[in-house]
Structure 1
């Protein structure tokens, strides 16, 4: 029996509202990346960021990630490589510097096509990369991934 891949919410939104979320997600999809930014306002936030980076770097290859764009469309990807810090000025401009390679499906999904647990985690808001814990989310996400691969 195989182990089901973990599923994560990846908002890919900066902690600064001044950063264009659309540009962040477009860069991530165009370059085949998943990640988050580095903007913090003090030492306590830096400590929390360090923890988020460590957890993100430890995510297993093959894990699924979901993001939602500014139009409300959902995108499904799969982590496929090691963590790195992207020091490109263009990465800093969209606050997407803590990154992992990610294979994204070529087409977005509408909310009714997305597992309820994924929709719920985005509905709660927040900007953190975090695992989605629900008994069916792994199987549901795997089915979507597999169906897309057959197209």
Structure 2
């Protein structure tokens, strides 16, 4: 069985937070995350994020359109240093250093980001798990 794949927008639910700064901080520090859980729905989203298995693939996209792929390497932890970009609930992540060529991004990943939204969510359509695993092997070699 192939590891699951998640969309991780790294975008605050607060409109006053610089989305680009959040993505850049996460890539630089090797984390993926989300903001404070402020209500019951946010708590459930955080619980789902925490339950994603170590080794799961994650995709994020910079506001300028560049896509990045990574793998979860650790459990959920609190990072007070991420308060300025509202990424205080984080998991360690091994990101590929360079953006992924747009022609290599699996269609299901592109479609999921095209729908918009700020939630971490598992990507299911098509063969996204196998496609991402093959791409990971190629790019991390």
Pair 1:93-2:84 in alignment: yes
- When normalised by structure 1's length, the TM-score is 0.90
2:29 maps to 31
Which of structures 1 and 2 has the bigger CA Rg?
Answer: 1
Pair 1:137-2:128 in alignment: yes
Task: List 4+ stretches of structure 1 deviating above 6 A.
Answer: none
Number of residue pairs the alignment of both structures matches: 141
- The answer to whether the 8 A contact 2:108-2:126 is kept is no
List alignment gaps of at least 5 residues for structure 1. 41-45
2:138 maps to 147
Where 1:76 maps in the other structure, the secondary structure is strand
Distance 2:46 2:9 in 1: 15
Q: Alpha carbon RMSD of aligned pairs, Å?
A: 1.1
- The answer to whether the 8 A contact 1:65-1:79 is kept is yes
List alignment gaps of at least 5 residues for structure 2. none
Distance 1:14 1:120 in 2: 20
* Equivalent residue runs for 1:50-129 within 5 Å: 50-88=43-81, 91-129=82-120
2:14 maps to 16
Where 2:91 maps in the other structure, the secondary structure is strand
